[in-house]
Structure 1
């Protein structure tokens, strides 16, 4: 039974990892073991792509890292524009007590956890990385919460490293529905799939991928992680461009 459950979890993770094409509401994996499984699946996919690129390189007799080889059209997937849409509402959307912070500490942890789980799913579905508290309060179902209540939920998420306050006044929220390490794997896979074997920080931000709207500071941090993993190497002294290694 445990093995079957693990297979089901793996199938769901694979489905959710198809981030550049379509974001599914899916379960947000918080357990460390499953997070490692997500990264492992990404790495397996990367190894497959690297093997395919090596074959293309050998057949063409050119060095793909210089840009002189033609990448197979099967590996090139044009970026899809993210469509604005409404995120599915939680099952408890019509339960009035979910919009008031419980006074009984017995129920407080569960209440906060439910809101935290939904907030991560909501942000993932809508591809939201950075948002103001004021803007959140205009979105369903957060519009039924008072600012004090919403901030209590966000403080709980901050304690769990699910969000980070982006400014000193705590007006902006950075929501981590995907870790920076996971993004490094995703961007590397994207580079191999599309043949983008070198790119700048600004080229990443100018795209239409799920990671294009990440804060610039974190995209640079992700590029640094890619270099540390030997997925890429820096080009230029300013370290705003990388060349992909495979």
Structure 2
């Protein structure tokens, strides 16, 4: 019985060689190229064979990072309703949706590898670090210096929604992700964060040189 069980487990082989998505892959304009494994039903279920399941989790990690990078997703929810409505975690063509407990395991692995961080609260939301806060902070600092915004006061709203940043990678960025990135700069002595006067919200001064 044990031998037959192992044969059954080992019979599940994910089509790794045919995966079309990687962290740095180039996507078609306006659409996301899902990997072939996304149409493979066992991909959506935890596998009893530990080696097989480890490979499955790795494939999910690559898919999540590629998807979020392509669509500029900064936070993912993994409660049941969110999973069912997500075109990342659900494939109606094969009638499969990732279960919350499986999604939680995958997110935990992402967090352990430095690619995610649990949001404060009920453990149902994760920041996804397809670019981590330090990398975002470095981009912000270079932008401010190159575009002449260093050593001037900017509000977080201006950075997220202002005309000056509308064609940058951080336009429309999740506010908490932006604040985490600015805090990295502050830790490095490259910025100062404060509450703006007049109720304008959080402000920041990005320095042209580290203090």
Q: Give the structure 1 partner of residue 131 of structure 2.
A: 178
Identify if the C-alpha distance between structure 1 residues 104 and 141 changes in structure 2 by more than 3 Å, giving closer, same or farther. same
Question: Residues of 1 paired with 2:195 and 2:51: CA distance?
Answer: 56
Offset of residue 95 of structure 1: 1.8
Q: Give the structure 2 partner of residue 219 of structure 1.
A: 178
Identify if the C-alpha distance between structure 1 residues 96 and 240 changes in structure 2 by more than 3 Å, giving closer, same or farther. same
Q: Counterpart of 1:221 in 2: which secondary structure?
A: helix
**How many equivalent residue pairs?**
168
Offset of residue 100 of structure 1: 1.6
2:96 corresponds to 1:149? no
CA RMSD of aligned residues (A): 3.0
Q: Give the structure 2 partner of residue 166 of structure 1.
A: 119
Unaligned 5+ residue runs, structure 2?
Answer: 1-20, 91-95
Work out which structure has the larger RCO, using CA pairs closer than 8 Å and 6 or more positions apart in sequence: 1
**117-126 or 85-94: bigger deviation:** 85-94
Offset of residue 155 of structure 1: 2.5
Q: Which has the higher strand share?
A: 2
Identify if the C-alpha distance between structure 1 residues 194 and 91 changes in structure 2 by more than 3 Å, giving closer, same or farther. farther
Q: Which has the higher helix share?
A: 1
Unaligned 5+ residue runs, structure 1?
Answer: 1-24, 29-83
Q: Counterpart of 2:61 in 1: which secondary structure?
A: helix
Q: Give the structure 1 partner of residue 10 of structure 2.
A: none
Question: Residues of 1 paired with 2:142 and 2:22: CA distance?
Answer: 21
Q: Give the structure 1 partner of residue 17 of structure 2.
A: none
User: How high is the TM-score relative to the length of structure 1?
Assistant: 0.57
Identify if the C-alpha distance between structure 1 residues 85 and 244 changes in structure 2 by more than 3 Å, giving closer, same or farther. same
